[in-house]
A and B are shown apart, each in its own frame.
Chain A
Amino acid sequence: MLYREAGQFKSTYAEDQQIFPIRQDRIALAVFLAFALLVVPAIGNQYWLGALLTPFLIFSLAALGLNILTGYAGQLSLGTAAFMAVGAFMAYNFVLRVPGIPILLAFVLAGICAAAVGIVFGLPSLRIKGFYLAVATLACQFFVLWALQRFGWFSNHSTSGVITAQQIVILGYAFDTPARKYLLTLGVVAVMALAAKNLMRSETGRAFMAVRDMDVAASVIGIPMMRTKLLAFAISSFYCGVAGALHAFCYLGTVEPEAYSLDLSFRILFMIIIGGVGSILGAFLGAAFITLFPIFLNLASSWVNEFFGVEISHAVVSNLESIIFGGLIIFFLIVEPQGLARLWQITKEKLRLWPFPH
């Protein structure tokens, strides 16, 4: 009843081709963005903004980057964390070595550096596919971390290889509190997510999907294989690189290369698998599940402790948390292998018919 597009007539091509063709979607998105931009910083405390929402947004962006590559262009990659590391370290170096560089420009340049690395390590994708490609991108994961640790230049010859992100100042305005950092992150993520959503509807996005679905057929109908695959790597790595820069500057502040280990690459891969492969929304849902859910479980266990007055040993609780989390991942994959985004899509389809399904 509420979510029905009947009566929304499109009289121009522009209207027909807009990103969100259904009016309710547009309103919902505008309300949601306004809420995230205006209300959340006002009601959220430091814990919510600094420790939950900011990392959630950053990992959403990284998952989005991987989703462009894996979900849309069909190239499996295990180098996501490495691209993030490139972004983080290069953003640091740009700010350090180019005096007076605007921070957003540094982020973009860092993303471009990550994209360049992505193109180099995307070259094997021209010859190999699937799991073999995943192993090839594994090389990227190890090589980048190795390079960041071995060459002192990247960390400005810090003895322990750790970098400390500089202060973020845009037009004289310092982003120094968790609320401000959250707003900056939200701004960057919102713009980039909209761009991704739009890109995937364009010729480029359709070429990506054609390559994913069957690359031989795609090349037969005239899609340049090399350009498309490398472009997918470049765009994906750019997103991951910007996410890495945000991770260092807006979230942790001080990062070591080991923070971007293979473990993180896997976590981001799990995000898109759980959230939904080949879906922009899926990246956000998956990131929420992987980053926020363990924390919720952790908090819930302390509520259970207080509420029922049972003192469970903390070691048991901590291990239980991992067990429940793992169990839920399996549950979701069995119930909905296409991810949480698909669940949302089904909900929307049902909503269209509601309250008269037949």
Chain B
Amino acid sequence: MKRTSLAVAALALAAAAGPAAAQNEQFVPANFYWVGPYAPGGSGFGGGMIDYFAMLNERDHGINGVKLTWEKCETEYRNDRGVECYERSKNKGPTGASVIHPLSTGITYSLIEKATADKIPVISLGYGRTDAADGRVFPYIFPLITTYWSQNTAKIKFIGMKEGGMDKLQGKKIVNIYHDSAYGKETIPVLDVQAKKYGFQVTHIAVPHPGNEQQAQWLQIRQIKPDWVILRGWGVMNPTALKAAAKIGFPRDRIVGVWWSGAEEDVIPAGDAAKGYIAAGFNLPGTSFPVMQDILKNVYKKGKGEMEDSSRIGSIYHTRGVVAGIITAEAIRTAQAQFGKGKPMTGEQVRWGIEHLNIDDKRLKELGAVGLMQPLKVSCMDHEGGGAVKFLQWDGKKWNVITDWIASDQSIVRPMVEASAAQYAKEKGIAPRDCSKEK
């Protein structure tokens, strides 16, 4: 008995050591979550990213011949498990983890210092620390495409458009109902600044985690009688909010959600209560994009694919994961162009790649992702790159795009980002980089 268990343990250890990693591989950790209240987001996003990598491996044999590899690690959306996964994955593959997608604002915060010290770039795609957009202070952190603050200015612009001009916002009442976490609170200061600028009233109402109890909050909203409600929810909080809004009779087409409140998983559980609800998005759903067709053809037709429920292929979270895959792969490609094609890149080199990422319209067309995402140009100063948002409306069956890309108001956001980053730099004793000296 003892001997067999010893033998099993020894074999397990040998298996863990595994075959020596092939040299021509690029390792990207897949530290997401497949259990818990936020599993739809984690599994969809992770699935999309892995599907895109699998497609690249099948169709193009990797990036210039370098195959992408990945390993899943369950973070449960918890900070300590996220750190554990990060530490576990950072030295895998021939060059270590090339880039981390924490997919949690909390885990992103926990990794900022660790990843900077380990020289591994962190991409927080549409979440994470907003002031990291100032690349001078945060060389390894990339809140790409749009930060929460940018998105919020676009949201207010959208509301202004609906009202018939920004001057019409004067005296309007907006309620910001938010998930009571670092993620939820992130937009409070920028909303306050905008409220002052445009003269509307804003009330912030917190919903404690996980958000499946919101009656009191919506009763308060009924008393305030706002013109618009901004829903800054996450996971189970979203359908609950929509149902509560239906109960008090608040029109759903006056609720504008953040992109983490705007996926199929957020509205389908609410049923009819979700009809007419509007949400922001930086990626569009659907399987008609050529890149999605390639994934279907090269991955799912061969019986591989990550999404077990085929109806989720092309859902918002899934295509968001594909966008994450595209950005990661393009960053590695950019790095290879600089440091040697067909070689695995280190985290430091990939960081250079992300910082010099330039996905223009032409490149989007080559990637087959026109309309799936916006053009992206990152620089040392600007770690955000895009900044524009589209708004989608749920008709009970699918998300319909109701606007073009709405640009954010960087005149509000950028000074706040720089001030906040400067405070961080001062607290931590970081000397900001001089971007004119960066190559």
List residues of A whose CB falls within 8 A of some B CB.
46-47, 50-52, 55, 96, 149, 156, 159-162, 164, 166-167, 176, 251-256, 258-259, 261, 291, 294-295, 298-300, 302-303, 306-307, 313-315, 317-319, 321-322
Quick one: which of B16, B110, B185, B429 contacts A303, CB cutoff 8 A?
Answer: B16
User: Would you list 27 pairs from A and B whose C-beta atoms are within 8 A, ordered by A residue?
Assistant: A47-B91, A156-B427, A160-B105, A160-B109, A160-B185, A161-B185, A162-B109, A164-B113, A164-B424, A251-B80, A252-B110, A253-B110, A254-B113, A255-B109, A255-B110, A256-B181, A256-B182, A258-B182, A261-B209, A295-B81, A298-B73, A302-B71, A303-B15, A313-B308, A318-B74, A318-B76, A321-B35
On whether the beta carbons of B88 and A315 are closer than 8 Å, the reply is: no
Shortest Cβ-Cβ A-B pairs, 3 listed: A51-B87, A315-B34, A160-B182
CB distance from B8 to the nearest CB of A (A): 9
On whether the beta carbons of A159 and B186 are closer than 8 Å, the reply is: yes
| Docked CA distance A302–B85 (Å) | 13
B-chain residues with CB within 8 Å of residue A166 when the two chains form the complex: 427-428
| Docked CA distance A161–B424 (Å) | 13
CB distance from B114 to the nearest CB of A (A): 7
Interface size on B, residues (CB 8 A): 52
B-chain residues with CB within 8 Å of residue A164 when the two chains form the complex: 109, 112-113, 424, 427-428
Quick one: which of B35, B80, B87, B428 contacts A318, CB cutoff 8 A?
Answer: B35
Contacts A251-B80, A259-B106 aside, 5 further interface pairs with beta carbons under 8 A come to: A164-B109, A251-B83, A253-B113, A256-B181, A298-B74
On whether the beta carbons of B16 and A258 are closer than 8 Å, the reply is: no
B-chain residues with CB within 8 Å of residue A162 when the two chains form the complex: 109, 182
A-chain residues with CB within 8 Å of residue B113 when the two chains form the complex: 164, 253-254
Quick one: which of B80, B180, B189, B427 contacts A159, CB cutoff 8 A?
Answer: B189
On whether the beta carbons of B15 and A307 are closer than 8 Å, the reply is: yes
CB distance from A244 to the nearest CB of B (A): 13
On whether the beta carbons of A46 and B87 are closer than 8 Å, the reply is: yes
On whether the beta carbons of B16 and A306 are closer than 8 Å, the reply is: yes
- Tally of A-B Cβ pairs under 8 angstroms: 120
A-chain residues with CB within 8 Å of residue B182 when the two chains form the complex: 160-162, 256, 258
On whether the beta carbons of B88 and A51 are closer than 8 Å, the reply is: yes
On whether the beta carbons of B106 and A258 are closer than 8 Å, the reply is: yes
A-chain residues with CB within 8 Å of residue B206 when the two chains form the complex: 149
Binary contact track B369-383/A, C-beta < 8 Å → 1, others 0: 000000000000000
Quick one: which of A252, A258, A314, A319 contacts B80, CB cutoff 8 A?
Answer: A252
CB proximity to A under 8 Å, residues B111-135: 112-114, 117, 129-131
| Docked CA distance A167–B86 (Å) | 21
CB proximity to A under 8 Å, residues B165-213: 180-183, 185-186, 188-189, 206, 209
A-chain residues with CB within 8 Å of residue B80 when the two chains form the complex: 55, 251-252, 259, 291
On whether the beta carbons of A306 and B15 are closer than 8 Å, the reply is: yes
Secondary structure at the B interface, as helix, strand, loop or mixed, is helix
On whether the beta carbons of B87 and A159 are closer than 8 Å, the reply is: no
Residues A306 and B18 in contact in the complex (CB < 8 Å), given A149-B185, A159-B188: yes
Residues A252 and B83 in contact in the complex (CB < 8 Å), given A261-B209, A315-B34, A315-B35: yes
Q: Of all chain A residues, which has the CB nearest B80?
A: A55
Secondary structure at the A interface, as helix, strand, loop or mixed, is helix
Among B84, B86, B129, the one with the most A-chain Cβ atoms within 10 Å of its Cβ is B84
Q: Of all chain B residues, which has the CB nearest A142?
A: B208
CB distance from B119 to the nearest CB of A (A): 13
On whether the beta carbons of A258 and B428 are closer than 8 Å, the reply is: no
On whether the beta carbons of A315 and B109 are closer than 8 Å, the reply is: no
| Docked CA distance A254–B86 (Å) | 15
B-chain residues with CB within 8 Å of residue A159 when the two chains form the complex: 130-131, 185-186, 188-189, 420
CB proximity to A under 8 Å, residues B403-425: 420, 424
Q: Of all chain A residues, which has the CB nearest B148?
A: A160
| Docked CA distance A321–B114 (Å) | 27
Quick one: which of B12, B180, B427, B428 contacts A300, CB cutoff 8 A?
Answer: B12
CB distance from B120 to the nearest CB of A (A): 12
Chain A CB within 8 A of B79 CB: yes
CB distance from A315 to the nearest CB of B (A): 4
Quick one: which of A52, A261, A315 contacts B84, CB cutoff 8 A?
Answer: A52
A-chain residues with CB within 8 Å of residue B188 when the two chains form the complex: 159
Binary contact track B11-44/A, C-beta < 8 Å → 1, others 0: 1100110100000000000000111000100010
CB distance from B306 to the nearest CB of A (A): 9
Among B11, B79, B420, the one with the most A-chain Cβ atoms within 10 Å of its Cβ is B79
A-chain residues with CB within 8 Å of residue B18 when the two chains form the complex: 306
| Docked CA distance A79–B307 (Å) | 40
On whether the beta carbons of A318 and B106 are closer than 8 Å, the reply is: no
Quick one: which of A46, A255, A258 contacts B180, CB cutoff 8 A?
Answer: A258
Quick one: which of A47, A96, A319 contacts B87, CB cutoff 8 A?
Answer: A47
| Docked CA distance A313–B307 (Å) | 10
Q: Of all chain A residues, which has the CB nearest B108?
A: A254
Chain A CB within 8 A of B356 CB: no
| Docked CA distance A96–B426 (Å) | 11
A-chain residues with CB within 8 Å of residue B131 when the two chains form the complex: 159
Residues A259 and B79 in contact in the complex (CB < 8 Å), given A160-B185, A299-B16, A315-B308: yes
A-chain residues with CB within 8 Å of residue B76 when the two chains form the complex: 318
On whether the beta carbons of A252 and B84 are closer than 8 Å, the reply is: no
Among A294, A295, A299, A321, the one with the most B-chain Cβ atoms within 10 Å of its Cβ is A295
B-chain residues with CB within 8 Å of residue A294 when the two chains form the complex: 81
On whether the beta carbons of B11 and A295 are closer than 8 Å, the reply is: no
On whether the beta carbons of A315 and B43 are closer than 8 Å, the reply is: yes
On whether the beta carbons of A258 and B209 are closer than 8 Å, the reply is: yes
| Docked CA distance A270–B117 (Å) | 35
| Docked CA distance A322–B87 (Å) | 21
CB distance from B102 to the nearest CB of A (A): 12
CB distance from B194 to the nearest CB of A (A): 14
